[in-house]
Amino acid sequence: MGTYGRTGLDRFVLGSVAEQTLRDAPVPVMTVHEDTTLNLPFEDILVPTDGSDCASAAADLAIALAAASDATLHVVNVVDLGVVWGDMDTGTVLEALEAAGQRALDSVIERADAADVSTVEASVINGTPYRAIDTYAEENDADCIVMGTHGRTGLDRYLLGSVTERVIRLSDVPVFATKDFDAAE
């Protein structure tokens, strides 16, 4: 699905067709910008994970795509340094966040190995999640990004946006967005 469309306040208030489709589609949706080149078969697939059910659903799709196309699966967890504030013991908090990120990576790696994905590269990286994901995709020549979306609704969705939506807007490669369909049932 193309992401070219309305901009400015109209997009903010009403949302775009792509955003509405991402919220409502009963299947994974691939988004591309009008100048995006689709490189098939995929050779490098990126899946960010935070260990959530939504990220797990995205990992399942990424693993299936990597296995089917004999692609390298890049699995990343982004430690958002913006969650560390003021008087917190930043070293302890950072270590805990990185350990949780590694557990999320290990879960995906184990499932990818079981699906006979030949090459898996995993990294815990620090930064603003949507920027770090886009930068990783660029630096590692990802052909696509596969991400979960939790279908958040209401005013907070429009004021804050989601990491997936920001990656879709920023990325120069196709982005598959999928929900945890088991949770939706």
- DSSP track, 96-142: HHHHHHHHHHHHHHHHHHHTT-SEEEEEEEES-HHHHHHHHHHHTT-
Confidence of residue 183 (pLDDT cuts 50, 70, 90): low
In a domain, 32, yes or no: yes
Confidence of residue 5 (pLDDT cuts 50, 70, 90): very low
Compute the distance between CA of residue 142 and CA of residue 167 in angstroms, rounded to an integer. Answer: 13
- Average of per-residue pLDDT across 162-177: 90
In a domain, 1, yes or no: no
Q: Is the pLDDT of residue 162 over 70?
A: yes
Residue 18: enclosing H or E segment and its boundaries? helix 17-24
Query: How do residues 82-139 score in pLDDT, each as one tens digit?
Result: 776 656 666 788 889 999 999 999 999 999 999 999 999 999 999 999 999 999 999 9
In a domain, 156, yes or no: yes
- Residue 16, pLDDT score: 67
Domain that holds residue 109: 28-184
In a domain, 99, yes or no: yes
- Residue 182, pLDDT score: 67
Per the prediction, the chain carries an average pLDDT of 83
In a domain, 37, yes or no: yes
Query: How do residues 32-41 score in pLDDT, each as one tens digit?
Result: 888 888 889 9
In a domain, 17, yes or no: no
Q: Is the pLDDT of residue 170 over 60?
A: yes
pTM for this one?
0.84
Is 69:61 a contact under the CB 8 Å cutoff? no
- Average of per-residue pLDDT across 155-172: 72
In a domain, 79, yes or no: yes
Collapsing DSSP to helix, strand or coil, 160 comes out as helix
Is 136:76 a contact under the CB 8 Å cutoff? yes
Q: Is the pLDDT of residue 161 over 70?
A: no
Residues above pLDDT 70, as percent of the chain: 77
| Six-digit token string for 160 | 């804050």
Is 63:34 a contact under the CB 8 Å cutoff? no
- Residue 159, pLDDT score: 41
Termini Cα distance of the chain? 25
Confidence of residue 160 (pLDDT cuts 50, 70, 90): very low
- Residue 31, pLDDT score: 85
Q: Is the pLDDT of residue 24 over 60?
A: yes
- Residue 6, pLDDT score: 43
Amino acid identity for residue 95 in this structure: E
In a domain, 16, yes or no: no
Compute the distance between CA of residue 62 and CA of residue 73 in angstroms, rounded to an integer. Answer: 7
Q: Count of domains in the chain?
A: 1
| CATH at 127 | 3.40.50.620
